[in-house]
Amino acid sequence: MKIRLIFLAFIVFQLLGLTKLQAQENPTKNAQKALADLARQYEERWHLDSLWAVENGWPLQSGEATFVGRQGQLPLYETQSTRTEIEYYYGQELWAQPYLLRGNGQTIGQWESPSGNNTAPDIGNSNLNAANITLQNASGNSSHATQVALRMVGTAQSDSSAGLGLAPEAQLEVWSSVNVESTLATEASKYYVSNHSYASIRGWITPISFTLNSQTENVNWFSEANVDRQEDYGFGRYEARDKAWDEIAYYAPYHNIVLAASNERGQSSSADTVVSFYYDATIPGGYRFEKYANPWPEADGGSDGFDCLPPGTLSKNAWVIGATDVGSRPYQDVTDENINSNSAFGPTDDGRIKPDFVAPGGFTSYSAPQVSASLALLQELAQKKLGYALRSATLKALMMHSAYDFAPSGPDYRSGWGLINPSGAAALIDGQEVNSRFYEQALEPNSTQVYYLYLDSIRDLKASIAWTDPPATPLSRDYDSRDLNNSQPLLINDLNIRLIRLADQQSYFPFILNPLQPALAATTGNNVLDNAEQIFLKQASAGWYVLSVDAQGNLVDAQGNSAAQNYSLVLSGFSRYYCAPENGYSAHWNGQQWIPASPTAGAKVRISGNYTLSGDQYFGQLHADPGSQINLQGHDLHLAGDLISPDLNLSGGKLYFDGTLKQNLCGSCKAEQVYLNNSGGLDIASENSRMEIKDYLFLQSGSLTTANALCLIGGSGLNNYAQIHHESGGSWQGSIHFSLFLPASSASGWRSLGSPVNTRLGSLLKSLDNFALSPNGSVFQWNARRSRWEVPADTTAPFNALNPYWIYLGENENTRFNTFPFSLELSGETPTSVQQNLGFHDGSGGQFVSGSIDSAGWNLLSNPFPENLNWSAIKQHADFSRTTAPLHGSYYVWDPQAGKYLSHNGLVGDSELGGSIAPMQAFFVKLNQAADSTSAAFNFNRSHRHLSPANFRKKVLPHWQLEWRFSDSSQADRCYIAFSSQSSAAFDTDLDAYKLMGDPVTGPRIYSLPPQGADAPELGIQCLPWLQEGEKIALALKAPSPGPCSIKASAIQINQAEPWYLIDRKLGKLHALSEKSYHFYYDVNDAAERFWLWRAPTNFHALDSTAENPLLWYYKEGFLHLKLAHWQESLQLSLVNSAGQKLWQQEKLSGVEWRIDLNLSPGVYYLLLESLDWSHRETLYLGD
C-alpha cells in the first residue's frame, strides 16, 4: 500500500527560558489571544468537518488514510509511509568543537499521523530515553513514530546506528496529528519548532475504498475529473491548512513549522481504469465517482516532475523539506541526481519557491527530522552564544545563506535553496564566519533601510532576507478548469532587496524563477512572489555598495491594518560595513545646500559630499554618506546622537560627543581631535566600526567602549602619534589599534619599538617580506643583566611594554622589508600600570654604544600607554633624589632618520622628544651603579602620562642649544648647555645626559666635555651652575668626513644681551652667540676641544678676531681694555663722543694690550680704527 508520511522534528524551548526581548515578541498578549482564538476556530472547524464527513459518507479512517478536513466539497486525507527506511546521518559537526551541541535544554515536539489508531513512539526502545519523552495526546506504539523519534532524539552510542538522533539530549513531546491545527495553535507559544511527518494524499494513490450514494469504488486517482482529467488541480494549490500554518507562524514568530514535501513525484498506476471523483451539485454530497481510461492522467508531477506538492505543504512561512539520497560527505558536491526520485517538486501555483530545502534521508519522511533536530541545535547555540533564541525567519535566512547550492547557481523548484548546512548556519550565529552579519529588523510602512558594504573584489557577496508573511486567503472553488494552476499571487507584504554600486549606480537584483518554465535556471530580477530573497554577486568590482530593504505597496498585519513588517537579513562577503541609518532627517546637505533648510541645533541630519563649517554647529544624529568630508575650519562640531557613516573624514577642528545618553559610532570615521563629554559614554565596539584619531582623544567624562575599533594613527616623527588623554571623569575599556608608522630611513635602518598591548613578535613582523632570527639576524633584545644584545628564539616571543626590540628595517643579506614608508597595526588591551624590572651589569665586555660611555647599567624600556609619557612626572614619582636615584635622570631614544640617539632629562633636551616618550617608543635608561642590588623595580602608571609637547606646559631650564650642520647636508646634531643652581661642575646623574653615538658615526655629532679631563664622558646635555664671567665650557665635534659647516646657537630663557661667545681656538676667532651662525671648515683631525663656549665679562664687546677685524675690546669699571691680534701695521685709535668731540687718540701696535683709564659718564661713544687703507667704527654704550 502506498503511504506518504513525512517525518519532521519539532524543536521547542520552554517559555520560561525566554529573554525579555522574546517575552515581548513571543508571544505578546495580542498574539496569545490570537492563537487562542485560532485554536477555538480550528477546533470548531474540525468538528464541523468531521460531522460533514460522516453525514456525506466519507470515512474518518480508511486503512492508512486519515481524514483531516476538506478542500471545498472534497475531503482531505493524509497518510504515512511504510517504505523501508534508509539511514542517513547529517549535522554531527555540531556535536564537536567549537559548538558541543547535543540538544541539552531543548524540547522537540512531534506531531504524528495515525497508523491505524497508533501515534506514539515505542518508549521501550533501547535507543530512546523514556525519561525524555512525553506523550501528550498520542498513544499506541507506531513504528513510524518510533523511527521519526529516533532520528531526532535517539541515544544510541554509535553514529552508524539508526538509533542515534541529532539531538540526543533534547526532550520530546508527541502529539497526534488529528485536529493538528487546534493543538498546534494552543502549543505554538511554547515551542520553537514543530515536526509534521505526514502529507495530504493527492493524484495517484494506492487504492482506497469509498462509498458515495450507496456505490462503493476503490479510488486510485484522488482528484476531480470535472476540473481536469489528466492533471490533479490540488497540487500547488494554497488551501485552508496552508493558511492555518501561516496564521500560527505569524502569531508565533519564533515557532518553526517543519513540513515534509511528500513523496508524490512520479507516482502512477498500472490499473486499466481511472477511478476518481466528479463534482455534481445536483446530487447529495456533491460528488460521484468518475471512471475512464482515456485520456490517462499523467504521473504526479508530469513528465518533468514539477508541480506535485499537495495542499498542506504550500505554506509561505513553514519549512517544506524535500529528500536527498546523500549519505556521505562532502555534502557540497551534491547534484540533482542526489534528490530522491519521489521527493516532490514545486512550484506552487502562484510560482513560489517550494520546497524550501532538501535534507538527507532517502524519503521526505526521514529528511524532515534532520531539519527539525538541526533547528533544535541552532536554537541551543543561539541561547548559549547570544542569550536569546532566534525568529523562525532568522533561522530560515541563515539556512538559506549557508545551504549547499545545487548546480546551477541559485534556488530552483527541485531543491529550493539547497541542501541544508547546519554547521554553516552555526558558524554565522557563532561569528565564526568572517565578514558576516545577521539582523532581526522591522520595516515601517513607506520606509527604506539601507546597509553600506565595501566589497574588495576578492570575496563573493551574499545577502539573504526572509520574513514571516501574513496569511493569505485560499482561492474560492469554481469546480471547473479555472481551479487548475490558478496563479493569483499570495504574497501579502512584498519586501524587496536591491544592491547598488555607488560609483556608477549599477543595480543588482535577487534571484527569481519562472514558474511557467520551472526547469530553467534562476535569473535575477524583481521577486514579487516569495517571502525569501537572495542576492549573490561573485567577485564584484571593489568599492562601496548600498543594500536597500523596502516594500512594494503598503505593509499590513494579519487583519489588513497598516503595520511594520519584521524581517531577518544575513550578509557575508564584504570587507567593511556600517549600520543602516534610520529615517526622518530634519535636514539633508546635498553637497551644495541644506534641504529643505539649515538644521536647527540638535537636529537629525544627513550629509552627502563635502561640507564646511562656518562656525560651531550642534547636531543630533549625523549620517554621512560614503565619501563625505567635513572641513571644520577650526570650529567645533557637537553631536548629541549617533554618528553613522562608512568613511567620514573630518579635518581642521574638534569633534565633540556630548549627548546625555549613550552614543554610538556606526561605521568609520577619521578625525583629528575628538572629545567625549557624555556620562552615558560612547560605543564604537560594533563589528566593522572604526574611529581613526590623528591627534588626540580627550575623555572628559563617560566611558569609551571599543573592541579593536579605535585606531591611534602614527605619524612620521618620533613623537607624532595620536594619543588618548582622560580626565577624572573619563575612561575607556576594550582593545585598541595602534598604527605604527615606519618611515623610509636615509641614515639608519634600525628602529627601537615596544608595544602598549600584549602581542607576539610575529604580529610586529607580519608586514615584512623576509626577516631573520639568527646571530646575524635583524631582530634583537637588550639583556641588561649581561649588557649585550641577544636574538629572540622565534616569532612567538612576547612583544609588549616589557619586551621591546631593536629591529633592522633596512636591507641586508638577512632582511628585506616592504617599500617604505608604511604602517602596521597592533591591537589589544592596554594596561593601567606596568612594573618593569631593571637589570644591572658592570658593563665588562658590554656591547652598548660607541664613544666614551661604558655599558654598565643600561636598560631598554618602552612606553606602555596610548599616550605620551611625561618624563618629569616619572622622575618625581620614582624617587629621583640626587643621592639615591635608581636611574640616571635622562632617557635616550634612537632616531632612525638621523642615525643617532636623542636625549632629554625632562627639562632640557632634543626638541623631537620634548620630554615626552611616544606610544610604542622604546628608550634606554641607565641604572645607577650605586644601586643596592643587580636589579630594581620601576613602575609606570597613568599619572605619568600627558599630551604631546605642543599641548603641555612644563618647566624648562635656561640653556643654550648648539646645532652643528654641514653646508651640503640636511643632517644636523645638537648639544645643550643648561644652567641650574642645583647643578655642579661634575657629572650630574640627575640632569646630565651622555652623548650616545651610533656605531659607526654617520653624521655630525656635537657634545660638551665636563672638566674632569681626558676621561670625562661625552655629554649631549650638560647642566652647570651659572657660569661666572670669563668661565668657559669645552665643546667637541665628531663627523666621518671633513667639509664646510656651521654652528648655530639658540638661547632658551637666557638674556641674549649678556656677552656669550664661541671661541674657535684653532683660528683664534671670537664669535658672538647672539649673531648669526658661525661658519668654518671641519677637519677630521681637529682637536676635541677646538671650541669653547665662553661667558664674557659684563659690557664686553668685540669684533670677530680675524685678519680684517683685529680688535678685541671691552669696557669695565671705568677702564677700556684693548687688544690687537694678528696685526703688523700701525693703527690709529680714537674715542669720540656723540657730539663728535675727540676724547682720546693714540697710535698702537699689534699684539699689545692696553688698559686706559677713561672714567666715562653714561652715554654713547664711538671707537674709531684707522690705517693707511682701512677704517672701522665700533659703538660703545654705557648705561646709568
| Residue percentage of the chain with pLDDT more than 90 | 37
At 912, list the grid cell.
623631537
- Predicted pLDDT of residue 356: 97
Give me the pLDDT at residue 454, please: 86
Residue 1031 scores a pLDDT above 50: yes
Q: What is the pLDDT of residue 798?
A: 85
Residue with cell 687718540: 1145
Per-residue pLDDT, averaged over 896-925, amounts to 86
Distance, CA of 692 to CA of 714 (rounded, Å): 10
Q: What is the largest CA-CA distance in the chain?
A: 161
pLDDT of 822 reads 61
* Per-residue confidence band for 498, with pLDDT thresholds at 50, 70 and 90: very high
Residue 229 CA to residue 894 CA, distance in Å, equals: 94
**Strand, coil or helix: 93:** helix
Position 82 confidence tier, pLDDT thresholds 50, 70, 90: very low
User: Does 134 have pLDDT greater than 50?
Assistant: yes
User: Is 62's pLDDT higher than 60?
Assistant: yes
Most confident among 151-155, 718-722, 1129-1133 (mean pLDDT):
151-155
- Stronger pLDDT, 794 or 1116, i.e. the higher one: 794
| Helices marked H in 718-803 | 761-764
pLDDT band at 799 (very low <50, low <70, confident <90, very high): confident
The pLDDT value recorded for residue 316 is 98
Read off the pLDDT of each residue in 170-189 and give the average, rounded to a whole number: 91
Q: Cα–chain-centroid distance for residue 921?
A: 26
One-letter amino acid at 715 equals G
Q: Which of 1119, 1099, 1122 is nearest to 1160 (CA)?
A: 1119
Q: Which of 768-772, 1038-1042, 1043-1047 bottoms out in mean pLDDT, i.e. has the lowest?
A: 768-772
Q: What is the pLDDT of residue 16?
A: 27
Determine how β-strand 1131-1137 pairs with β-strand 1078-1082: unpaired
Cell of 602: 540638535
Residue 354 is predicted with a pLDDT of 97
Q: Residue 1095 forms beta bridges with which residues?
A: 1060
DSSP assignment, residue 887?
A: B
Average pLDDT over residues 132-161: 84
What pLDDT shows up at residue 848? 66
Amino acid 1130: pLDDT: 66
The distance in angstroms from the start CA to the end CA of the chain is 132
Q: Give the pLDDT confidence score for residue 715 in this predicted structure.
A: 61
Determine the Cα–Cα distance for residues 1184 and 1180; give it in Å rounded to an integer.
13
* Whether the predicted pLDDT of 1127 surpasses 60: no
| Confidence at 250, pLDDT banded by 50, 70, 90 | very high
**The three cell numbers locating residue 1154:** 692696553
CA distance 649 to 612: 12
State the cell numbers at 330: 562532502
Residues 6+ apart with CB under 8 A from 574: 435, 453, 454, 455, 459, 461
Full 3-state SS string of 1109-1150? CCEEEEEECCEEEEEECCCCCCEEEEEEECCCCEEEEEEECC
Report residue 847's pLDDT band, with 50, 70 and 90 as the boundaries.
low
Which residue would you say has higher pLDDT here, 1145 or 680? Answer: 680
Mean pLDDT, rounded, for 220-242:
94
Is residue 144 a contact partner of residue 80, using CB atoms and an 8 Å limit?
yes
Q: What is the pLDDT of residue 741?
A: 67
Residue 239 has pLDDT above 60, yes or no: yes
Whether the upstream peptide bond of residue 1000 has omega within 30° of 0, thus cis, is: yes
The SS3 of residue 497 is strand
Over range 1017-1024, report the average pLDDT: 90
Q: What is the mean pLDDT of the chain?
A: 82
Site of grid cell 532520528: 151
| 384 vs 1088, more confident | 384
- pLDDT tens, position by position, 347-381: 999 999 999 999 988 788 888 988 999 999 999 99
Give the other-Cβ count within 10 Å of 552's Cβ: 13
Mean pLDDT, rounded, for 299-328: 90
Please name the helix (run of DSSP H) or strand (run of DSSP E) that holds residue 145, with its range, or none: helix 143-153
Q: How far apart are CA 309 and CA 260, in angstroms?
A: 10
Greater pLDDT, 1098 or 313: 313
Q: What is the dihedral of CA 786, 787, 792, 793, to 10 degrees?
A: -20
Residue for cell digits 493569505?
A: 472
User: Can you give the pLDDT at residue 5?
Assistant: 31
Residue 1 has pLDDT above 50, yes or no: no
Residue scoring higher pLDDT (787 or 965): 965
Strands 532-537 and 319-324: unpaired
pLDDT > 60? residue 1109: no
- How many CB atoms neighbour CB 464 within 10 A? 27
Taking residues 436-447, what's their average pLDDT?
92
Return the domain boundaries, the chain.
Answer: 10-207+234-269+304-402, 434-472+491-578, 587-706, 738-953, 957-1096, 1102-1182
pLDDT tens profile 608-659: 999 999 999 999 999 998 889 999 999 999 999 989 888 899 999 999 999 9
1181, with CB counted inside 10 A (0-12, 13-18, 19+), is exposed
Q: Which CATH number fits domain 434-472+491-578: 3.40.1160.10, 2.60.120.380, 2.120.10.30, 3.40.640.10?
A: 2.60.120.380
pLDDT at 330: 47
Identify which has the larger pLDDT, 2 or 500: 500
For domain 1102-1182, the CATH architecture is: Sandwich (2.60)
Confidence of residue 1150 (pLDDT cuts 50, 70, 90): low
pLDDT of amino acid 885: 52
Predicted confidence (pLDDT) at residue 478 exceeds the cutoff of 50: yes
What is the per-residue pLDDT for 1107? 39
Name the grid cell of 127.
535507543
- Specify the higher pLDDT residue, 1000 or 22: 1000
- Residue 881 backbone phi and psi in degrees, to 5: -75, 160
Between the alpha carbon of residue 199 and those of residues 115, 172, 337, 419, the distances in Å are: 13, 21, 24, 21
pLDDT at 161: 57
pLDDT in tens, 868-879: 888 888 877 654
Are the beta carbons of 800 and 792 closer than 8 angstroms?
Answer: no
- Give the tens place of pLDDT for each residue, 253-297: 999 999 999 988 999 999 999 999 999 989 988 899 999 999 999
Does 941 score more than 80 pLDDT? no
pLDDT of residue 7: 31
**What's the pLDDT score for residue 187?**
92
Q: Would you place residue 3 in the very low, low, confident or very high pLDDT band (cuts 50, 70, 90)?
A: very low
pLDDT of 869 reads: 84
Residue 521 — pLDDT band, cuts 50, 70, 90? very high
Name the fold adopted by 10-207+234-269+304-402. Rossmann fold (3.40.50)
Query: What pLDDT score does 381 carry?
Result: 95
State the pLDDT at residue 84.
42
CA atoms of 287 and 285, how far apart (whole Å): 6
pLDDT at position 372 is 94
